Amino acid sequence: MVADTDRRTRVKRRYDQAKTPFDHLCATNAISPERRTQVTALRDQTNPRQLLAEIRALIDYTFSLPGAVPCETEDVYQTLNLPVFEQSADGASVTLSFDLTR
């Protein structure tokens, strides 16, 4: 009598619905319900395309800054007094800079 070892078994896999990491987090008790509500509101008001455009603009701005010149001393405080980025979104102007007077 020969054993039937050449026969292959079929495995049928079942998967859950695809979820984002945010949805997985909200399904657990890792954060409080109040915090979950806050984060959900933040996610709902975030525009991914606008956020990507802002990130790319900041990256382009960063690469447009002059690089350090070898063997030349620079005054860092003058660099920190310059505005980092200025953008008008929905009529609001935003300027980021360091306040060195404190």
In the structure, what pLDDT confidence band is assigned to residue 36 with cuts at 50, 70 and 90? very high
Q: Would you state the pLDDT for residue 91?
A: 57
Q: How far apart are CA 52 and CA 58, in angstroms?
A: 10
Q: Is the per-residue pLDDT at 71 higher than 60? A: yes
Q: How far apart are CA 8 and CA 100, in angstroms?
A: 73
Q: How far apart are CA 5 and CA 100, in angstroms?
A: 78
Domain residue ranges of the chain, discontinuous segments joined by + = 18-63
